[in-house]
Amino acid sequence: MKIDGCNVLVTGGASFIGSHLVDALIERGARVRVADNLSSGSLANLGRRPVDGSVEFIECDLREPNAARAAVDGRQLIFHLAADHGGRGYVDTHQAGPASNLALDGLVFREAVRAGVEKVVYASSGCVYPNRIQGDADEELFLTEEMVRPPYDADNLYGWAKLMAELTLRAYHAEFGLNAACCRYFTVYGPRAKENLAVLAMIARAFIGEKPFEIWGDGRQVRNFTHVDDIVSGTIAAAEKIDDATPVNLGTMERIRVREAAEMVLEMTGHDTEIVTRPEMPTGPVNRVADNRLAKELLGWQPQVAFREGLRRTIDWYYATKNREKVRQVLKRGALLERGPAR
Ligand SMILES: NC(=O)c1ccc[n+]([C@@H]2O[C@H](COP(=O)([O-])OP(=O)(O)OC[C@H]3O[C@@H](n4cnc5c(N)ncnc54)[C@H](O)[C@@H]3O)[C@@H](O)[C@H]2O)c1
Protein backbone atom coordinates (compact mmCIF):
# COMPACT_ATOMS: atom_id res chain seq x y z
CA MET A 1 0.00 0.00 0.00
CA LYS A 2 1.30 3.47 -0.91
CA ILE A 3 1.67 6.00 1.91
CA ASP A 4 2.11 9.09 -0.28
CA GLY A 5 -1.25 10.85 -0.64
CA CYS A 6 -3.02 8.30 1.57
CA ASN A 7 -5.74 9.35 4.06
CA VAL A 8 -4.43 7.97 7.32
CA LEU A 9 -5.77 7.77 10.87
CA VAL A 10 -3.31 7.34 13.72
CA THR A 11 -5.20 6.41 16.89
CA GLY A 12 -3.17 7.32 19.95
CA GLY A 13 -1.16 9.63 17.69
CA ALA A 14 -0.32 12.02 20.54
CA SER A 15 1.66 9.29 22.31
CA PHE A 16 5.40 8.74 22.44
CA ILE A 17 5.50 6.23 19.54
CA GLY A 18 2.38 7.59 17.83
CA SER A 19 3.76 11.11 17.50
CA HIS A 20 7.00 9.86 15.91
CA LEU A 21 4.92 7.79 13.51
CA VAL A 22 2.87 10.88 12.63
CA ASP A 23 6.06 12.82 11.83
CA ALA A 24 7.32 10.04 9.55
CA LEU A 25 3.97 9.64 7.77
CA ILE A 26 3.76 13.34 7.04
CA GLU A 27 7.30 13.25 5.69
CA ARG A 28 6.17 10.47 3.32
CA GLY A 29 3.25 12.55 2.03
CA ALA A 30 0.33 11.05 3.99
CA ARG A 31 -2.69 13.13 5.02
CA VAL A 32 -2.85 12.45 8.72
CA ARG A 33 -5.71 12.52 11.21
CA VAL A 34 -4.97 11.81 14.88
CA ALA A 35 -7.61 10.63 17.35
CA ASP A 36 -6.49 10.61 20.96
CA ASN A 37 -8.15 11.20 24.34
CA LEU A 38 -4.86 12.52 25.81
CA SER A 39 -5.15 10.11 28.74
CA SER A 40 -1.44 9.34 28.50
CA GLY A 41 -0.51 11.12 25.28
CA SER A 42 0.21 14.81 25.09
CA LEU A 43 -0.56 17.51 22.54
CA ALA A 44 2.98 18.78 23.09
CA ASN A 45 4.23 15.67 21.26
CA LEU A 46 2.55 16.96 18.10
CA GLY A 47 4.11 20.40 18.42
CA ARG A 48 2.46 22.93 16.10
CA ARG A 49 0.91 20.34 13.79
CA PRO A 50 -2.70 20.61 15.02
CA VAL A 51 -2.42 24.41 14.74
CA ASP A 52 -0.69 24.68 11.37
CA GLY A 53 -3.07 22.12 9.88
CA SER A 54 -0.47 19.49 8.99
CA VAL A 55 -2.46 17.15 11.27
CA GLU A 56 -6.20 16.99 11.82
CA PHE A 57 -6.53 16.39 15.57
CA ILE A 58 -9.67 14.92 17.15
CA GLU A 59 -9.76 14.67 20.92
CA CYS A 60 -12.06 11.77 21.72
CA ASP A 61 -12.44 8.53 23.62
CA LEU A 62 -12.41 5.81 20.99
CA ARG A 63 -14.32 3.48 23.32
CA GLU A 64 -17.36 5.63 22.47
CA PRO A 65 -19.00 4.14 19.35
CA ASN A 66 -19.81 7.51 17.78
CA ALA A 67 -16.28 8.78 18.35
CA ALA A 68 -14.75 5.68 16.77
CA ARG A 69 -17.07 6.04 13.78
CA ALA A 70 -16.22 9.71 13.24
CA ALA A 71 -12.49 9.06 13.59
CA VAL A 72 -12.44 6.19 11.08
CA ASP A 73 -14.74 7.81 8.52
CA GLY A 74 -13.08 8.63 5.18
CA ARG A 75 -9.77 6.93 6.04
CA GLN A 76 -7.96 4.41 3.83
CA LEU A 77 -5.35 3.27 6.33
CA ILE A 78 -5.46 3.09 10.13
CA PHE A 79 -2.49 2.78 12.45
CA HIS A 80 -4.13 1.67 15.68
CA LEU A 81 -1.91 2.65 18.63
CA ALA A 82 -4.48 3.95 21.14
CA ALA A 83 -4.38 1.75 24.22
CA ASP A 84 -4.62 1.76 27.97
CA HIS A 85 -0.95 1.05 28.58
CA GLY A 86 1.94 2.07 30.77
CA GLY A 87 5.32 0.71 31.76
CA ARG A 88 6.02 -2.55 33.54
CA GLY A 89 4.86 -1.11 36.86
CA TYR A 90 1.45 -0.33 35.37
CA VAL A 91 0.95 -3.51 33.36
CA ASP A 92 1.71 -5.73 36.37
CA THR A 93 -0.43 -3.85 38.88
CA HIS A 94 -3.47 -2.78 36.80
CA GLN A 95 -5.79 -5.20 35.02
CA ALA A 96 -9.09 -3.34 34.62
CA GLY A 97 -7.69 -0.45 32.57
CA PRO A 98 -5.89 -2.62 30.01
CA ALA A 99 -9.00 -4.85 29.83
CA SER A 100 -10.82 -1.88 28.30
CA ASN A 101 -8.54 -2.30 25.26
CA LEU A 102 -10.72 -5.27 24.31
CA ALA A 103 -13.61 -2.86 23.79
CA LEU A 104 -11.44 -0.16 22.23
CA ASP A 105 -9.82 -2.48 19.68
CA GLY A 106 -13.09 -4.24 18.89
CA LEU A 107 -14.84 -0.95 18.12
CA VAL A 108 -12.04 0.45 15.97
CA PHE A 109 -11.80 -2.77 13.92
CA ARG A 110 -15.56 -3.03 13.48
CA GLU A 111 -15.78 0.57 12.33
CA ALA A 112 -12.88 -0.03 9.96
CA VAL A 113 -14.84 -2.82 8.26
CA ARG A 114 -18.01 -0.74 8.15
CA ALA A 115 -16.22 2.22 6.59
CA GLY A 116 -14.41 0.11 3.98
CA VAL A 117 -10.95 0.99 5.28
CA GLU A 118 -8.26 -0.70 3.17
CA LYS A 119 -5.89 -1.69 5.96
CA VAL A 120 -5.40 -1.64 9.73
CA VAL A 121 -1.88 -1.73 11.16
CA TYR A 122 -1.94 -2.74 14.80
CA ALA A 123 0.55 -1.87 17.55
CA SER A 124 0.90 -5.24 19.23
CA SER A 125 3.49 -6.18 21.80
CA GLY A 126 6.05 -8.67 23.05
CA CYS A 127 3.48 -9.19 25.83
CA VAL A 128 1.62 -11.69 23.61
CA TYR A 129 4.42 -14.27 24.07
CA PRO A 130 3.84 -17.05 26.61
CA ASN A 131 5.15 -16.19 30.06
CA ARG A 132 6.13 -19.81 30.64
CA ILE A 133 8.93 -19.78 28.04
CA GLN A 134 10.55 -16.53 29.28
CA GLY A 135 11.49 -17.64 32.79
CA ASP A 136 15.21 -18.44 32.51
CA ALA A 137 17.44 -15.36 32.41
CA ASP A 138 20.43 -17.49 31.31
CA GLU A 139 18.84 -19.11 28.27
CA GLU A 140 19.91 -17.77 24.85
CA LEU A 141 16.27 -17.34 23.80
CA PHE A 142 14.99 -15.40 20.77
CA LEU A 143 11.21 -15.30 20.48
CA THR A 144 9.93 -16.27 17.04
CA GLU A 145 6.45 -15.32 15.90
CA GLU A 146 5.01 -18.84 15.82
CA MET A 147 5.78 -19.33 19.53
CA VAL A 148 2.50 -17.53 20.14
CA ARG A 149 0.14 -20.48 19.80
CA PRO A 150 -2.18 -22.52 22.02
CA PRO A 151 -2.05 -22.93 24.94
CA TYR A 152 -1.79 -19.14 25.04
CA ASP A 153 -0.20 -17.58 28.14
CA ALA A 154 -0.03 -13.81 27.58
CA ASP A 155 1.47 -11.23 29.92
CA ASN A 156 -1.30 -9.76 32.13
CA LEU A 157 -4.63 -8.51 30.75
CA TYR A 158 -2.66 -5.99 28.71
CA GLY A 159 -1.00 -8.87 26.82
CA TRP A 160 -4.23 -10.85 26.48
CA ALA A 161 -5.96 -7.83 24.91
CA LYS A 162 -3.08 -7.43 22.42
CA LEU A 163 -3.35 -11.12 21.58
CA MET A 164 -7.13 -10.96 21.13
CA ALA A 165 -6.72 -7.98 18.79
CA GLU A 166 -4.21 -9.90 16.67
CA LEU A 167 -6.56 -12.90 16.46
CA THR A 168 -9.49 -10.62 15.64
CA LEU A 169 -7.61 -9.03 12.77
CA ARG A 170 -6.64 -12.44 11.44
CA ALA A 171 -10.31 -13.48 11.49
CA TYR A 172 -11.45 -10.18 9.94
CA HIS A 173 -8.95 -10.62 7.14
CA ALA A 174 -10.15 -14.18 6.46
CA GLU A 175 -13.87 -13.55 6.81
CA PHE A 176 -14.41 -9.85 6.01
CA GLY A 177 -11.45 -9.24 3.67
CA LEU A 178 -10.01 -6.47 5.87
CA ASN A 179 -6.28 -6.15 5.19
CA ALA A 180 -4.16 -5.91 8.31
CA ALA A 181 -0.65 -6.09 9.77
CA CYS A 182 0.32 -6.69 13.40
CA CYS A 183 3.61 -5.30 14.67
CA ARG A 184 4.88 -6.74 17.94
CA TYR A 185 6.86 -3.93 19.55
CA PHE A 186 9.59 -4.82 22.06
CA THR A 187 10.62 -2.47 24.91
CA VAL A 188 10.64 0.80 22.99
CA TYR A 189 12.61 3.88 24.12
CA GLY A 190 13.66 7.24 22.72
CA PRO A 191 12.78 10.93 22.87
CA ARG A 192 9.25 11.77 24.14
CA ALA A 193 9.05 8.53 26.16
CA LYS A 194 7.98 8.85 29.78
CA GLU A 195 9.72 7.78 32.95
CA ASN A 196 7.39 4.81 33.45
CA LEU A 197 9.45 2.96 30.80
CA ALA A 198 12.59 1.34 32.26
CA VAL A 199 15.27 3.12 30.22
CA LEU A 200 13.68 6.50 30.85
CA ALA A 201 13.35 5.77 34.56
CA MET A 202 17.10 5.09 34.64
CA ILE A 203 17.92 8.30 32.80
CA ALA A 204 15.59 10.24 35.12
CA ARG A 205 17.27 8.79 38.24
CA ALA A 206 20.69 9.79 36.93
CA PHE A 207 19.38 13.23 35.97
CA ILE A 208 18.24 14.00 39.52
CA GLY A 209 21.41 12.45 40.95
CA GLU A 210 19.67 9.60 42.79
CA LYS A 211 21.97 7.94 45.35
CA PRO A 212 22.04 5.02 45.59
CA PHE A 213 20.74 4.28 42.11
CA GLU A 214 17.74 1.96 42.11
CA ILE A 215 16.82 -0.73 39.60
CA TRP A 216 13.81 -3.04 39.78
CA GLY A 217 14.30 -6.79 40.10
CA ASP A 218 17.73 -8.32 40.56
CA GLY A 219 18.97 -6.63 37.39
CA ARG A 220 19.56 -9.91 35.55
CA GLN A 221 16.41 -9.53 33.41
CA VAL A 222 17.24 -9.55 29.70
CA ARG A 223 15.61 -7.19 27.21
CA ASN A 224 16.14 -5.91 23.65
CA PHE A 225 15.60 -2.18 24.08
CA THR A 226 14.46 -0.90 20.68
CA HIS A 227 14.74 2.68 19.48
CA VAL A 228 11.54 4.42 18.43
CA ASP A 229 12.96 5.31 14.98
CA ASP A 230 13.31 1.62 14.19
CA ILE A 231 9.80 0.91 15.46
CA VAL A 232 8.39 3.63 13.20
CA SER A 233 10.22 2.49 10.07
CA GLY A 234 9.14 -1.13 10.71
CA THR A 235 5.51 -0.11 11.27
CA ILE A 236 5.39 1.82 8.00
CA ALA A 237 7.07 -1.05 6.13
CA ALA A 238 4.41 -3.40 7.54
CA ALA A 239 1.69 -1.05 6.24
CA GLU A 240 3.28 -1.18 2.81
CA LYS A 241 3.94 -4.90 2.63
CA ILE A 242 1.69 -7.05 4.84
CA ASP A 243 -2.01 -7.64 4.11
CA ASP A 244 -2.97 -10.89 5.79
CA ALA A 245 -2.58 -9.88 9.48
CA THR A 246 0.67 -11.83 9.83
CA PRO A 247 2.32 -10.68 13.06
CA VAL A 248 5.96 -9.55 12.89
CA ASN A 249 8.39 -8.80 15.69
CA LEU A 250 9.86 -5.31 15.67
CA GLY A 251 12.78 -5.48 18.05
CA THR A 252 16.55 -5.62 18.05
CA MET A 253 18.36 -8.87 18.81
CA GLU A 254 20.78 -7.16 21.22
CA ARG A 255 20.53 -8.98 24.53
CA ILE A 256 20.99 -6.48 27.36
CA ARG A 257 20.56 -7.09 31.07
CA VAL A 258 18.81 -4.37 33.04
CA ARG A 259 21.89 -3.99 35.22
CA GLU A 260 24.10 -3.49 32.13
CA ALA A 261 21.70 -0.83 30.84
CA ALA A 262 21.88 0.93 34.22
CA GLU A 263 25.68 0.82 34.16
CA MET A 264 25.70 2.38 30.69
CA VAL A 265 23.39 5.16 31.89
CA LEU A 266 25.65 5.88 34.86
CA GLU A 267 28.74 5.90 32.64
CA MET A 268 27.22 8.13 29.95
CA THR A 269 25.75 10.62 32.39
CA GLY A 270 28.85 10.68 34.60
CA HIS A 271 26.72 9.85 37.64
CA ASP A 272 28.98 7.99 40.04
CA THR A 273 27.07 5.94 42.58
CA GLU A 274 26.25 2.46 43.77
CA ILE A 275 23.42 0.43 42.13
CA VAL A 276 20.87 -1.14 44.48
CA THR A 277 18.31 -3.75 43.41
CA ARG A 278 14.63 -3.83 44.37
CA PRO A 279 13.68 -7.50 43.83
CA GLU A 280 10.16 -6.93 45.16
CA MET A 281 9.24 -4.47 42.37
CA PRO A 282 7.58 -5.55 39.06
CA THR A 283 9.99 -6.91 36.45
CA GLY A 284 7.91 -8.86 33.95
CA PRO A 285 9.37 -11.99 32.36
CA VAL A 286 13.10 -12.27 32.96
CA ASN A 287 14.05 -13.15 29.39
CA ARG A 288 12.31 -11.28 26.55
CA VAL A 289 14.18 -10.72 23.30
CA ALA A 290 12.77 -10.83 19.77
CA ASP A 291 13.95 -12.85 16.85
CA ASN A 292 13.60 -10.34 14.02
CA ARG A 293 14.35 -12.53 11.01
CA LEU A 294 10.74 -12.59 9.80
CA ALA A 295 10.61 -8.78 9.65
CA LYS A 296 13.86 -8.85 7.65
CA GLU A 297 12.40 -11.39 5.26
CA LEU A 298 8.92 -9.88 4.80
CA LEU A 299 9.69 -6.18 5.16
CA GLY A 300 13.36 -5.86 4.30
CA TRP A 301 13.57 -4.15 7.68
CA GLN A 302 16.29 -4.27 10.22
CA PRO A 303 17.01 -2.09 13.22
CA GLN A 304 19.48 0.70 12.53
CA VAL A 305 20.03 2.08 16.03
CA ALA A 306 22.34 0.14 18.34
CA PHE A 307 21.43 0.45 22.02
CA ARG A 308 24.52 2.46 22.95
CA GLU A 309 23.84 4.98 20.22
CA GLY A 310 20.10 5.22 20.94
CA LEU A 311 20.76 5.61 24.65
CA ARG A 312 23.23 8.44 23.99
CA ARG A 313 20.63 10.26 21.85
CA THR A 314 17.87 9.73 24.42
CA ILE A 315 20.04 11.00 27.25
CA ASP A 316 20.95 14.09 25.21
CA TRP A 317 17.27 14.79 24.55
CA TYR A 318 16.33 14.23 28.20
CA TYR A 319 19.06 16.45 29.62
CA ALA A 320 18.27 19.21 27.09
CA THR A 321 14.53 19.31 27.77
CA LYS A 322 13.78 18.35 31.39
CA ASN A 323 13.61 20.25 34.63
CA ARG A 324 15.20 18.56 37.67
CA GLU A 325 12.58 19.67 40.19
CA LYS A 326 9.71 18.43 38.01
CA VAL A 327 11.44 15.10 37.42
CA ARG A 328 11.97 14.71 41.19
CA GLN A 329 8.22 15.21 41.68
CA VAL A 330 7.39 12.66 38.98
CA LEU A 331 9.60 10.00 40.58
CA LYS A 332 8.34 10.82 44.06
CA ARG A 333 4.64 10.54 43.29
CA GLY A 334 4.91 6.90 42.22
CA ALA A 335 4.41 7.64 38.53
CA LEU A 336 6.40 4.55 37.60
CA LEU A 337 3.42 2.41 38.61
CA GLU A 338 0.95 4.55 36.68
CA ARG A 339 0.26 5.27 33.03
CA GLY A 340 1.86 8.63 33.44
CA PRO A 341 -0.64 11.40 32.84
CA ALA A 342 0.00 13.69 29.91
CA ARG A 343 2.37 16.52 30.81
N1 LIG B 1 6.27 1.70 24.62
C2 LIG B 1 6.49 0.41 24.43
O3 LIG B 1 7.54 -0.14 24.80
C4 LIG B 1 5.45 -0.43 23.72
C5 LIG B 1 5.68 -1.80 23.57
C6 LIG B 1 4.72 -2.59 22.94
C7 LIG B 1 3.57 -2.00 22.44
N8 LIG B 1 3.35 -0.66 22.62
C9 LIG B 1 2.09 -0.09 22.11
O10 LIG B 1 2.38 1.04 21.33
C11 LIG B 1 1.28 1.98 21.42
C12 LIG B 1 1.82 3.35 21.78
O13 LIG B 1 2.43 3.27 23.07
P14 LIG B 1 3.35 4.43 23.69
O15 LIG B 1 4.35 3.77 24.54
O16 LIG B 1 3.78 5.35 22.63
O17 LIG B 1 2.42 5.32 24.61
P18 LIG B 1 0.98 5.21 25.25
O19 LIG B 1 0.73 3.89 25.79
O20 LIG B 1 0.84 6.33 26.17
O21 LIG B 1 0.05 5.44 23.98
C22 LIG B 1 -1.31 5.24 23.99
C23 LIG B 1 -2.00 6.47 23.37
O24 LIG B 1 -3.39 6.17 23.22
C25 LIG B 1 -4.17 7.23 23.78
N26 LIG B 1 -5.41 6.60 24.26
C27 LIG B 1 -5.52 5.69 25.26
N28 LIG B 1 -6.81 5.31 25.40
C29 LIG B 1 -7.51 5.99 24.46
C30 LIG B 1 -8.90 6.02 24.10
N31 LIG B 1 -9.80 5.28 24.76
N32 LIG B 1 -9.29 6.83 23.10
C33 LIG B 1 -8.38 7.60 22.43
N34 LIG B 1 -7.05 7.60 22.71
C35 LIG B 1 -6.63 6.80 23.72
C36 LIG B 1 -3.29 7.83 24.88
O37 LIG B 1 -3.63 9.14 25.23
C38 LIG B 1 -1.91 7.73 24.23
O39 LIG B 1 -1.67 8.84 23.40
C40 LIG B 1 0.32 1.38 22.43
O41 LIG B 1 -0.68 0.66 21.74
C42 LIG B 1 1.18 0.42 23.21
O43 LIG B 1 0.40 -0.63 23.78
C44 LIG B 1 4.27 0.12 23.23
Distance 81 CA to ligand 1 centre (A): 5
Ligand 1 mutation target, pool 34, 40, 55, most atoms within 8 A of CB:
40
Number of residues in the chain: 343
pLDDT of residue 341: 56
Q: Which of 78, 59, 58 is nearest to 7 (CA)?
A: 78
Distance 273 CA to ligand 1 centre (A): 33
Residues 134 and 288: beta-carbon distance below 8 Å: yes
Distance 332 CA to ligand 1 centre (A): 23
Largest CA distance in the chain: 58
Ligand 1 pocket member 91 (CB < 6 A): no
Q: What is the rounded CA–CA span in Å between residue 266 and residue 311? A: 11
Distance 161 CA to ligand 1 centre (A): 13
pLDDT of residue 51: 96
pLDDT of residue 212: 95
Ligand 1 mutation target, pool 9, 10, 11, 15, most atoms within 8 A of CB:
15
pLDDT of residue 342: 54
pLDDT of residue 126: 98
Ligand 1 mutation target, pool 85, 104, 129, 336, most atoms within 8 A of CB:
85
Q: Please identify, by atom number, the ligand 1 atom nearest to the C-alpha of residue 17.
A: 16
C-alpha gyration radius of the chain: 19
pLDDT of residue 343: 57
- Give the count of beta carbons closer than 10 Å to the beta carbon of residue 53: 9
Ligand 1 pocket member 14 (CB < 6 A): yes
Q: What is the mean pLDDT of each run of 10 residues along the chain (343 residues)?
A: 97 98 98 97 97 97 97 98 94 95 98 98 98 97 98 98 98 98 98 95 97 95 98 98 98 98 98 96 95 98 98 98 95 80 56
CATH code of the domain made up of 7-188+225-250 = 3.40.50.720
pLDDT of residue 77: 98
Distance 204 CA to ligand 1 centre (A): 21
Q: Please identify, by atom number, the ligand 1 atom nearest to the C-alpha of residue 185.
A: 6
DSSP characters over 199-222: HHHHHHHHHTT-SSEEEEBTS--E
Shared fold status for 7-188+225-250 and 189-223+254-282+306-334: no
Domain ranges of the chain: 7-188+225-250, 189-223+254-282+306-334
Alpha helices in the chain (DSSP H): 16-27, 49-52, 65-72, 88-93, 96-114, 156-176, 198-207, 228-241, 258-269, 293-299, 307-321, 324-332
Distance 284 CA to ligand 1 centre (A): 18
pLDDT of residue 338: 83
Q: Which of 197, 161, 228 is nearest to 40 (CA)?
A: 197
Q: What is the rounded CA–CA span in Å between residue 16 and residue 83? A: 12
DSSP characters over 141-174: --B-GGG--SSP--SHHHHHHHHHHHHHHHHHHH
Q: Which of 296, 335, 269 is nearest to 86 (CA)?
A: 335
Q: What is the rounded CA–CA span in Å between residue 13 and residue 19? A: 5
CATH homologous superfamily for the domain 189-223+254-282+306-334: UDP-galactose 4-epimerase, domain 1 (3.90.25.10)
Q: Which of 179, 181, 175, 172 is nearest to 123 (CA)?
A: 181
Q: What is the rounded CA–CA span in Å between residue 163 and residue 124? A: 8
pLDDT of residue 183: 98
pLDDT of residue 6: 98
